[in-house]
Amino acid sequence: MAEARVIRVKAGPRLWLSGLWLTFFALAAIFAPLIVPHDPLAQDLMLGKLPPAWVAGHEPGYLLGTDSLGRDVLSRLISAARPALFVAIGAGLAACILGSVLGLIAGFFGGWTDRVISRIVDIWMAFPPVLLSILLVAFLNPSLQSVIIAIAIIDWTRFCRVVRAETMQQRRMDYVESARAMGLSSIATLAREVLPNVLPAIIVLLSLEMGIAVIVEAILSYVNLSVSTDQATWGSMIAEGRGIIYQAWWVLVFPMIALFLTVLAFSQFGEGLKERFDPVLR
Amino acid sequence: MSRNLLIRLGSTMVTLFGVAFIVFILVRVVPGNPIAMMLPPGASDADIALLTAHYGLDKPILTQFWIWLGRALQGDFGMSISLRQDVMSLIFGRLPATLELATLALVIAMALGGALAITAARFRGTAVETGIDLANGASLAMPDFLWGLTFILLFGVLIPVFAISGRVSPSLDLPFVTGFYLIESILRLRVDIFLDLMRHMLMPALALALPLAAVIAQLLKTSLKEAMQQDYVMLARTKGFSETRVLISEALRNAVIPTLTLAGVQFTFLIGGTVIVERLFSYEGLGNMAIDAVINRDLPLIQGIVLVFALIFVVINLIVDLSYALLNPRLRHG
């Protein structure tokens, strides 16, 4: 029933615009090797710090200019969408599954199970997230997998808290009582009855979390703790651009814009979904 | 009240204990021998054995934890491997810089958020409110990392009015006895140093403050608008008070409580954000040192910094809870 209602409502401009950018971002990431105008790693010191095509002193073929090693900024920008998408999906889903399962269990069973899980959440929230992610990645050795594991380990609490509260609310509903009266086991009740009603909240959080994951990956690659240097990332481009900010602003500005639009799109997509799902807000 | 206070204090202790345990385990499972990293290359076996015994590393892991916790409670976090100094004095050297930055950001966020909320509530239903809502949405969508970069571009490079790195100009001679430069410059009436500090601190503080200011503005505006519908506000209106006066002297007092709770929780996010913002502005604070410590795999220093950050987080949450209980009359006799 909930699904039918969602489909009937027409999507607003917020969902359309953010969905459009996310599609564009995903396509750029998937087809990056086919569409980049230059090899994103190819260096040519003769062509270093070329400005974008609309600034005097540019070279044809380098639309957004080059960095200090003569690498094409546009190609690097497109190629960096890959790790960003990979982390958004991987870390988003991992944190989502871990947090939602624990939240469902805590909210549904209550009692000491709830107390233990809630206490762990409290302890977790006492860690500074950026510091903890840097710590984890450094210990796991910098790589995209480590970034994903670190984000999942840190951010599952976001899902756990919301899902727990939602589940507690659902547990008191009549349909849960009747499902149990019909002899459904706890697990079956959770999976078949409670989960579908908590799912909208989870999907909204997942969209927000993907945006957070993209930012955290950028921060980690900014401090050189993400993928190795043979893969361009928005964070590493920003770090390079920060260093040569007085000579070549474009190396900093374009990855910043890409990062901003992607993060904005994820959060707006989540907000848009929330409006769709929540009958009171609508 | 006092019983609640004890329960709250107890649960804070449990949380801190949990944090300490996790940090301890995390650092222990890291590959590599911490003793070998502490000693210079070519140290004799006897030296290694001596230091191993000193840190209790020859004992079972749980015993090790108690020894470490006991030392940590006395402020002994050992020596930094990369900087070869006492971890606690390193942390105390950097902590004032971070606390000043975070406090400045909090003050900015409260002033800005409060002013926006009052303006939006005063002109509710007009284009002014819509404009403020839009600005809030925009500043929430952008994380502090991107705000910092934007400020560096705008006011560091395009219109270079602010310094983009460091805490204070190295050429300045600082006659200070504590690490709290900003406070000391005010107390000693050193306007020149104060202005130089602000030239360095304003951009990172603003980057940290903007997302929090937006949260405060949104929440306070909602509670102000709710309060303006209440009977006591109607009463104040019939007494002939102006709309602005009613808003500030009657509604604000009641609307501020829920905002305060949330602002406290959000303040911990702000402090977490100092880590990357300090890095961005090469600001010599605790967060910047933490990143260096991680890059250098300086385990004792990392342990100390994470624990200090966690302590700050927990203390803020405790203060928020207690002030909420004090401010809210319904909870006062709970």
Instruction: Give me the number of domains chain B comprises.
Output: 2
* pLDDT given for residue B329 in this prediction: 60
Is the confidence at residue A1, as pLDDT, over 50? no
* Residues B232 and B263 reside in one and the same domain: yes
The answer to whether position B182 is within a domain reads: yes
* pLDDT given for residue A214 in this prediction: 95
* Residues B34 and B164 reside in one and the same domain: no
* Residues B181 and B307 reside in one and the same domain: yes
Average pLDDT over residues A212-232: 87
Task: Centre a 10 Å sphere on the Cβ of residue B251 and count the other Cβ atoms it contains.
Answer: 23
Listed ranges A40-49, A131-140, A183-192, B107-116; the one with the highest mean pLDDT? B107-116
**Centroid of chain to Cα B115:** 22
pTM: 0.85
Q: Indicate which of B291, B308, B320 best probes the interface with A, i.e. most A CBs within 10 Å of its own CB.
A: B291
Q: How many helices (H) and strands (E) would you count in chain A?
A: 13, 0
* pLDDT given for residue B334 in this prediction: 40
Is the confidence at residue A192, as pLDDT, over 90? no
CA-based Rg of chain A, rounded to a whole angstrom?
22
* Residues B56 and B100 reside in one and the same domain: no
The answer to whether position B203 is within a domain reads: yes
The answer to whether position B79 is within a domain reads: no
CB under 8 A, 24+ apart: contacts of A57-62: A61/A37, A62/A38
Average pLDDT over residues A22-30: 93
Amino acid type, A224: N
Q: Is A222 an 8 Å CB contact of chain B?
A: yes
Q: Of the candidates B281, B14, B310, B124, which has an alpha carbon nearest to the alpha carbon of residue A116? A: B14
The answer to whether position B329 is within a domain reads: yes
Range of the domain at B58: 2-73
Average pLDDT over residues A156-183: 88
Q: Which of A15-29, A108-122, A250-264, B226-240 has the lowest mean pLDDT?
A: B226-240
The tokens for A216 are: 């955290």
Angstrom CA distances, B92 to A147, B88, B101, B179, B299, stand at 30, 6, 15, 8, 17
Q: Is B314 an 8 Å CB contact of chain A?
A: yes
Q: How far apart are CA A23 and CA A18, in angstroms?
A: 9
Angle between helices A195-222 and A249-277 (to 10 degrees): 170
Please state the φ and ψ torsions of residue B29, each to the nearest 5 degrees: -80, -5
The tokens for A19 are: 């969905």
Question: How many beta-carbon pairs under 8 angstroms link A with B?
Answer: 107
* pLDDT given for residue B30 in this prediction: 64
* pLDDT given for residue A25 in this prediction: 94
The more confident residue out of B322 and A105 is: A105
Contact between chains at A126 and B15 (C-beta distance less than 8 A): yes
* pLDDT given for residue A7 in this prediction: 42
* pLDDT given for residue B266 in this prediction: 82
Q: How many helices (H) and strands (E) would you count in chain B?
A: 15, 0
Q: How far apart are CA B314 and CA B310, in angstroms?
A: 6
CB-nearest to A131 from B153, B280, B290 is: B290
**Cβ–Cβ < 8 Å for A265, A7:** no
Q: Which of A27-31, A91-95, B232-236 has the lowest mean pLDDT?
A: B232-236
Contact between chains at A135 and B306 (C-beta distance less than 8 A): yes
Task: Centre a 10 Å sphere on the Cβ of residue B222 and count the other Cβ atoms it contains.
Answer: 16
DSSP state of B248: I
Give percent of chain A above pLDDT 90: 43
Contact between chains at A127 and B309 (C-beta distance less than 8 A): yes
Contact between chains at A138 and B276 (C-beta distance less than 8 A): no
Write the Ramachandran bin of A110: left for phi over 0, alpha for psi from -120 to 50, otherwise beta: left
* pLDDT given for residue A5 in this prediction: 45
Angstrom CA distances, A217 to A19, A75, A137, A223, A234, stand at 21, 19, 11, 10, 9
CB-nearest to A123 from B19, B145, B306 is: B19
* pLDDT given for residue A281 in this prediction: 47
Contact between chains at A242 and B152 (C-beta distance less than 8 A): yes
**Cβ–Cβ < 8 Å for B223, B216:** no
CB-nearest to B143 from A119, A263, A268 is: A263
Instruction: List CB contacts (< 8 A) between B11 and chain A.
Output: 122
The tokens for B200 are: 């360095």
Fold of A2-277: MetI-like fold (1.10.3720)
DSSP state of A227: S
For chain A, the domains span: 2-277
* Residues B174 and B219 reside in one and the same domain: yes
* Shortest Cα distance, chain B CAs vs residue A72, angstroms: 21
Q: How far apart are CA B212 and CA B220, in angstroms?
A: 12
Is the confidence at residue A2, as pLDDT, over 50? no
* Residues B303 and B185 reside in one and the same domain: yes
* pLDDT given for residue B158 in this prediction: 87
The answer to whether position B283 is within a domain reads: yes
The answer to whether position B82 is within a domain reads: no
The more confident residue out of A36 and B29 is: A36
Q: How far apart are CA B122 and CA B129, in angstroms?
A: 9
**Cβ–Cβ < 8 Å for B181, B100:** yes
Q: How far apart are CA B293 and CA B279, in angstroms?
A: 13
Q: How far apart are CA A144 and CA B93, in angstroms?
A: 34
Q: In the block, which residue shows the tokens 């949405």?
A: B137
* Residues B193 and B307 reside in one and the same domain: yes
Is the confidence at residue A175, as pLDDT, over 60? yes
* pLDDT given for residue B36 in this prediction: 64
User: Chain A: residue nearest B295 by CA?
Assistant: A138
Contacts with A267 (C-beta within 8 Å, 6 or more apart), sequence order = A207, A208, A211, B141
CB-nearest to B310 from A119, A127, A253 is: A127
DSSP state of A116: H
Q: What is the mean pLDDT of each run of 10 residues along chain B (334 residues)?
A: 77 83 76 62 76 72 82 82 87 94 94 92 88 86 90 89 88 84 88 91 95 91 85 81 79 80 81 92 93 84 87 85 71 49
CB-nearest to B313 from A128, A260, A263 is: A128
Q: Is A242 an 8 Å CB contact of chain B?
A: yes
Q: How far apart are CA A197 and CA A169, in angstroms?
A: 10
Q: Is B293 an 8 Å CB contact of chain A?
A: no
Is the confidence at residue A275, as pLDDT, over 50? yes
* Residues B230 and B122 reside in one and the same domain: yes
Q: In the block, which residue shows the tokens 């940290």?
A: B208
CB-nearest to A138 from B276, B297, B313 is: B297
Average pLDDT over residues A249-260: 93
Give percent of chain A above pLDDT 70: 94
The tokens for B283 are: 């600001």
* Residues B116 and B218 reside in one and the same domain: yes
Q: How far apart are CA B323 and CA A101, in angstroms?
A: 34
In this prediction, residue A259 has a pLDDT band, given cuts at 50, 70 and 90, of very high
The answer to whether position B85 is within a domain reads: no
A236 three-class SS = helix
Q: How far apart are CA B273 and CA B208, in angstroms?
A: 7
* pLDDT given for residue A86 in this prediction: 95
**Centroid of chain to Cα A97:** 14
Q: In the block, which residue shows the tokens 């690490």?
A: B179
Q: How far apart are CA B163 and CA B301, in angstroms?
A: 29
* Residues B26 and B58 reside in one and the same domain: yes
Q: How far apart are CA A268 and CA A274, in angstroms?
A: 10
CATH of the domain at B275: 1.10.3720.10
Q: Please give the ipTM for the structure prediction.
A: 0.85
DSSP state of A72: B
Amino acid type, B42: G
* Residues B36 and B113 reside in one and the same domain: no
